[in-house]
Structure 1
């Protein structure tokens, strides 16, 4: 896959967890079809069943992940080679994985990268990071893309947002690595997504603001309730 097709474009995350109203591979496949029709360049999707259903609907590149929890570890995004093998079966173009420094359930990050490169040399790898140091480490390990995905979601970055201080964190990441940077996480408006590209992100991933109607609705309700109080 040529990464150039993602440059300055929008990737949409089509995911719904088991406790969410839209949790359904059929619904996620139609969601992917809708955003593809609107101009999305690629899809980020979770689980084999969702990815395979999406592939039946559209031909866009897919960033595949499998969320699975293991006892004793907070890492849950494609945490082991087991998930790598399952994503490879789905023929995804890109595999994304947690690239934070947190304790892993089994293999080390470098072992997983080495395994994937050997077994599936045509698959690109995306690192989901939360700090500059993690991004730099991901670059050393040879990831093809580095995402800000986990910034604000690890214990040591909790509450932070890549849009804070006029995207100062994103600016720092972009200048700390040479690998293309994917701006992902809490980009809630088109203006924020565009600004992330202006700051230097290679591409942007937007999820909840497009594909989670329960969160979108809650945002409207909160605003209206604050006005009427």
Structure 2
């Protein structure tokens, strides 16, 4: 399969509304810095940020977070959310492909519609081996371990990445497997590639100075 994402490091350029770096101007700058540092792609949330990170000239994995008080799925839960980020310039759409309840179409329907109607690649965020197999069978372009540790079935969340899941999926699937979730050091990234990942996504430890600062304070600043 010919895919857009080269083998390498993907940087997630996201900041929540309460973060001082929230907003497209900051995320666009983060994407430029990631490109200059050697990243092969970026992940961004929402049309405004997707448009901003496009300036870096890298493949963009777009998501649209739609939060609901009644449904746990919020990563691109419906076709309208997917269409909005493709219109903004994302060539790859990431969506939650777990079987959890959502206010939108089932993932197998979304994958088909995104590929056929929007002409975009699909980046399937999953939490288990079985979900990864299903997403690939439904036509996902990439299968990513993003949600391992973040669903009821995979809790409690460990401190380390789920390398075993990457290894199992890479040994079984013909589509590229992407390692994501708690890859918080260069050594973990190296181990992700050794486990068979086509690419590894890093977010917080590259693009969230507030959380990085907190980690340093917790570990090394005397009280």
Q: Is the 8 A contact 1:151 1:162 kept in 2?
A: no
Distance 1:71 1:211, change over 3 A: same
Matches within 5 A, 1:43-192: 43-55=42-54, 57-121=55-119, 123-161=120-158, 163=160, 167-192=163-188
1: CA distance between counterparts of 2:122 and 2:159?
21
Unaligned stretches of 5+ residues in structure 1: none
Q: Name the residue aligned to 1:6.
A: 6
Q: Which runs of 4+ in 1 moved over 6 A?
A: none
TM-score between both structures, scaled by the size of structure 1: 0.91
Q: Which moved more, 1:168-177 or 1:23-32?
A: 168-177
1:178 CA drift (Å): 2.4
Aligned partners of 1:144 and 1:182: how far apart in 2? 11
Unpaired segments ≥5 residues, structure 2: none
Distance of 2:138 and 2:146 partners within structure 1: 18
For residues 35 and 26 of structure 1, do their structure 2 counterparts lie closer, same or farther at Cα, with a shift above 3 Å needed? same
Q: Are the equivalent residues in 1 in contact too, given 2:11–2:41 (CA < 8 A)?
A: yes
| Contact persistence 1:71–1:105 (CA under 8 A) | no
Matched with 1:36 is 35
- Number of equivalenced pairs: 223
- Pick closer, same or farther for the CA change 1:71–1:219 going to 2, 3 Å: closer
Q: Contact 1:65/1:87 (CA < 8 Å) preserved in 2?
A: yes
Could you tell me how far apart the structure 2 residues matched to 1:101 and 1:5 are? 26
1:145-197 Cα distance to aligned partner (Å, 9 max, x none):
000000011122123349468x2232222223222100001100011101100
Contact 2:62 2:86 in 1 (8 A): no
RMSD value, Cα: 1.9
